[in-house]
Amino acid sequence: MPWLVRDGRVVASLEIADSPSARRAGLLRRDGIEGALLLQPARSVHTMRMRFVIDVAHLDRELRVIRVARMAPWRLGSWQLKARAVLECEAGSLRSWGVNVGDLLEIRE
């Protein structure tokens, strides 16, 4: 199972959506998520038909956080030119994990 790491410390379990069908499904039809979902490649996300509020972190090619946002259901997210991946998790998770703009994240198996 992959893990999301910040500053050498595991902060969450991680699901990776790296195929078109997995990215399209995303968090739809779910009532929540344990850990986080990494969509790659991705520059933006939407929350159409989502059942819960999410935190979103746009990441560059090195997995550095370039933008964070909270998105309610039925919203279109902004498109980020420098983003290469998007991390989605339940609202409040990024704050509790201490993830902020400028942080370098890592995926550990």
pTM, to two decimals: 0.94
Q: What is the CATH number of the domain that holds 41?
A: 2.60.120.1140
Domain region containing 81? 3-108
Residue 55 is inside which H or E element, if any? strand 54-59
The whole-number pLDDT of residue 52 equals: 96
Structural domain total, the chain:
1
Tell me: pLDDT of 24 over 90.
Answer: no
Distance of CA 77 to the CA centre of its chain: 12
For 77-104, write each residue's pLDDT tens digit.
999 999 999 999 999 999 999 999 999 9
Q: What are the φ/ψ torsions at residue 96 (nearest 5 degrees)? A: -65, -30
